[in-house]
Amino acid sequence: MSFGVSNTLIHAFVVEIGVDKIAIPCVKYKNMLDYSEYLADWPDLPYPNFIAWLADIEKKWANNTALLFRSGKEKNFTTWTYQKMAAESRRISRGLLTAGLNKGDRVVLWAENRLEWIAVWIGTAVAGLVIVPVDFLVSDQECLNIIEITKAKAFFYSSKKENVASGLKEKAFVPPISICLTSEQFIDFGKNCESQVLPQIQDVAEHDPISIVFTSGTSGFAKGVTLHHKGVIANVNAAIMSLRAYPSDVFINVLPLHHTYPTTCSFISPLSVGASTIIIERLVGEVVVRDIKDAGGTFLIAVPLLYDKMMSAIDQKYQKLPIIIRGPLNFLRKIALDQANKGKVEFGQRVFKFIRKKAGLESIRITVAGGGPLSIKTADFFDSFGFNMVHGYGMSENCPLISVNTPWHRRNRSVGLPVKYTDVKIIDANGEGVGEIAVKSPSLMVGYYENPEATAEIFSEDGYLKTGDLGYKDADGFIYISGRKKNLIVSSGGKNIYPEEIESHFEGSRIVAEILVLGRNEEEFGGEQVFAVVVPNFDLLVQDYPNKELSDDFLNEVIKKEIERINRSLVTYKKISDFAVRREGFEKNAQQKIRRFLYKTPTNRI
């Protein structure tokens, strides 16, 4: 061992902290795993709809803390108990029904994450109405389109959208109810409607619509994914069985709640087990860390981009440690990662408690990534410090969870094992076993709102949802994603090339901040060549080349060298043959995925 620290000393330290006493299971599987081998042996959630759900969780945990939220520089959290949350939600229900809304009417919700957002979502659901949560980042016109398409009878909005609400009167369709979430009108809404009778459990069928989620789209026109009561509850049940949440947990919700991923996993799942949820006001590092520290957050659910940024911040401080200290720590990180891959995280959690404490994340017991592909580098980094990272895969049309690695059964290169009651098969597989991933589960959507053609197109004849993702399953049932079917590049030699695979090689690059790999037609040979559009990593280039002007010629030179470096690790037909430099970042959706369809034509790429 180098760095002047003897192997004997390291061995003594390992023994002292107890690694030699930790039993490490051998995670080798003979056949495809059955649910009983990797899911919690707990009773399924028994609720046919959200009326039954709200009544039961209020009864079980009335005085427990359900939600925590603070705004701006507030020192203390505003907290809602389960009883308070239920009361606020039913107030909204009574207000909507008193105003004349009937079963199945749509309610549009356009606001940032906050307590009132939760009350409107639940209140709409238990009134037998349909909630339409809208991405807060969409344009005013896109939101107005959704209001008109759904013929919404009520519109709840953020104070930042007052101008949109005031302009509604000039539109062809105007919702009868239009209320700002932070107004006196909202506080009073439904207060004097105690005599209004609310629907009973038997009044709302399991497959009645509960939500319409308009996809933000990486591929063009948004479609309204219509979800049903039992489907959402079944997916919540699946999430709980895979990741094993407990009443003692404190979830950290950092993602925009309009999306099915945080709605299912960060909002409804914790409430279904009696846990608490911190609603983070802003996705700013210091805000997130402060809320986690002050509330004792244990369960962090986020998108890969956030974890990439966290990794960069933690690693930057870690690299400043003297090399004589980092040497032994790196050795211990390898042990921690090895154990995590075998389903044991205790070693890393014990050894690197001081690192997590320094980062303000000491209380976190599990980190979950979803909503996009997670870099193997990022997953291994967090596991090596005992953060217990797992990641999964989903689609809004399935509420969304399809598969997930669990802390006890994981492979960081895969997106995990199918969640409970979910059947995943590969259709039209090629010789390498790669084909389109298809899913059947109780969480499948009712269909796309008023779009029967698109609905028919996405389902197979035997009722499976065709995800549009290409991938394969290994012998144990773990699922691997190769890329998007519509993004597939076919070379002149007939080889299939997955752009996402090539893009992943640039993760962690100090030269390339963002890269989009596309197919460019080869007129002479009839196939496509691999073409890349690159956004330089300006911040790091300034650090690495302090005396250089970041001119076009210089950027082309360093990017060319970086591509050549990556090309050396790729087989011939996957090598990038040409590239263009783009000085601005790509436009992305709410999950921070590049909206690839915008860059199909050469004129839009630069």
Nearest to 99 by CA among 192, 180, 227, 207: 192
Amino acid identity of residue 311, one-letter, is M
In this prediction, residues 491-502 reach a mean pLDDT of 79
pLDDT at 217: 46
The rounded distance, in Å, linking the Cα atoms of 84 and 100 is 25
Question: DSSP secondary structure string, 544-581?
Answer: H-TT----HHHHHHHHHHHHHHHHTTS-GGGS--EEEE
Prediction pTM value: 0.83
Residue 472 CB contacts under 8 Å (≥ 6 apart), including other chains: 426, 429, 432, 433, 434, 435, 479, 480, 482
Residue 17 φ then ψ, to 5° = -85, 0
CA 415 to chain centre: 12
What tokens does 598 get?
Answer: 């915008």
Rg of the chain, C-alpha, whole Å: 25
Instruction: Bin 130: left if φ > 0, else alpha if -120 < ψ < 50, else beta.
Output: beta
598 falls in which pLDDT band (50, 70, 90)? confident
Q: Rounded to whole angstroms, what are the CA distances from 170 to 164, 165, 459? A: 10, 10, 39
Does 75 score more than 50 pLDDT?
yes
Residues 401-446 have pLDDT tens digits of 999 999 999 999 999 999 999 999 999 999 889 999 999 999 999 9
pLDDT at 36: 85
Does 552 score more than 70 pLDDT?
yes
Strand ranges for 419-543 from DSSP E? 423-427, 435-440, 447-448, 465-473, 479-484, 489-490, 496-497, 512-521, 528-536
Distance linking the first and last C-alpha atoms of the chain: 49
Does 10 score more than 80 pLDDT?
no
pLDDT at 172: 66
Q: Return the DSSP state at 370.
A: -
pLDDT at 8: 42
Cα diameter, the chain: 79
pLDDT at 591: 67
Q: How large a percentage of the chain has pLDDT more than 70?
A: 91
Does 454 score more than 60 pLDDT?
yes
Question: Pairing between strand 209-214 and 224-228?
Answer: antiparallel
The residues with which 69 forms a beta bridge, in sequence order, are 78, 279
The rounded distance, in Å, linking the Cα atoms of 511 and 473 is 34
> How many other CB atoms are found less than 10 A from the CB of residue 605?
16
CA 439-444-445 angle, 5° bins: 135
27 falls in which pLDDT band (50, 70, 90)? very low
pLDDT at 18: 45
Residue 252 CB contacts under 8 Å (≥ 6 apart), including other chains: 266, 277, 278, 280, 288, 291, 292, 297, 299, 300, 301
The residues with which 536 forms a beta bridge, in sequence order, are 512
Does 221 score more than 90 pLDDT?
no
In this prediction, residues 578-590 reach a mean pLDDT of 89
Range among 50-64, 343-357, 541-555 with highest mean pLDDT value? 50-64
Question: In the predicted model, what is the mean pLDDT of the chain?
Answer: 89
Question: Pairing between strand 250-253 and 299-302?
Answer: parallel
The rounded distance, in Å, linking the Cα atoms of 263 and 123 is 15
Nearest to 263 by CA among 100, 122, 66: 122
382 falls in which pLDDT band (50, 70, 90)? very high
Does 541 score more than 50 pLDDT?
yes
Least confident segment among 107-121, 158-172, 391-405, 549-563: 158-172
Residue 211 φ then ψ, to 5° = -155, 145
Residues 279-338 have pLDDT tens digits of 998 888 888 999 999 999 999 999 888 898 899 889 999 999 999 999 999 999 999 999
> How many other CB atoms are found less than 10 A from the CB of residue 162?
12
Least confident segment among 78-92, 280-294, 348-362, 490-504: 490-504
Residues 233-264 have pLDDT tens digits of 999 999 999 999 999 999 999 999 999 999 99
Amino acid identity of residue 65, one-letter, is T
In this prediction, residues 556-577 reach a mean pLDDT of 93
More confident residue, 411 or 483: 411
Give yes or no for a contact between 328 and 334, defined as CB atoms under 8 angstroms apart. Answer: no
13 falls in which pLDDT band (50, 70, 90)? very low
What tokens does 262 get?
Answer: 């945080």
**Length of the chain (residues):** 606
Q: Which CATH number fits domain 50-204: 3.40.50.150, 3.40.50.12780, 3.20.20.80, 2.70.180.20?
A: 3.40.50.12780
In this prediction, residues 105-123 reach a mean pLDDT of 97
pLDDT at 494: 65
Domain 488-604 has CATH 3.30.70.890: no
The rounded distance, in Å, linking the Cα atoms of 333 and 352 is 9
Does 4 score more than 50 pLDDT?
no
Element (H, E) at 251: strand 250-253
pLDDT at 79: 98
Q: Return the DSSP state at 20.
A: G
Give yes or no for a contact between 538 and 510, defined as CB atoms under 8 angstroms apart. Answer: no
pLDDT at 241: 97
Domain positions in the chain are 50-204, 488-604
Question: DSSP secondary structure string, 164-205?
Answer: HHHGGGGSS---SEEEETTSHHHHHTTTT-TTPPPPPGGGS-
